[in-house]
Amino acid sequence: MPRRNPKPIGRRLAAKYRFLRKWRRAWDNKPDQMERARQKNVLKARDHYRDLKDNLRTHVSAWPATMTSPEFIKLMMDTVPLLGKGRTRKGYNWRSFRARLVRLGFCTFDPVTRKWTNTTAATLAL
């Protein structure tokens, strides 16, 4: 008599394992087809994220060229609801939005003047 699993997995997890086995078999049996699909999806994702970045750049370009920290935080807080809730229950954090703006090079902070500089306003004006 086969031993029963003391802790059975749920239907969703079992379906996930079936799906992963299917993909593994597809990569083993049809690697050329899977590689073409992967490359197509990589290009699609690249275009999607490029569009997101361009939309953010055009939105930030409407901001003033230089801002104090309270003005900058207010503009970010007003923009955050436009970004949606994302994957968290708490919603989008404006600090991560500030980090994203700095990482993408849209805004920089000058410690001497203690002001934020909008770099997209200069690039889109050209």
Around 42, how many Cα atoms within 13 Å sit in the side-chain half-sphere?
A: 6
- 86 C-beta neighbours (distance < 10 Å), count: 11
Q: Does residue 109 share a domain with residue 87?
A: yes
Q: How far is 76 from 98, CA to CA, in rounded Å? A: 7
Q: Does residue 47 share a domain with residue 85?
A: no
Tell me, what's the pLDDT at 126? 47
Residue 125: inside a domain, yes or no?
Answer: yes
What type of residue sits at position 69?
S
CB-CB contact of 38 with 104 (8 Å): no
CB-CB contact of 73 with 94 (8 Å): yes
pLDDT, tens digit, 9 for 90 and up, residues 12-50: 898 999 999 999 999 999 999 999 999 999 999 999 999
pTM: 0.66
Q: Does residue 89 share a domain with residue 39?
A: no
Q: How far is 10 from 91, CA to CA, in rounded Å? A: 29
Q: How far is 55 from 15, CA to CA, in rounded Å? A: 37
Domain count, the chain: 2
Q: Does residue 88 share a domain with residue 50?
A: no
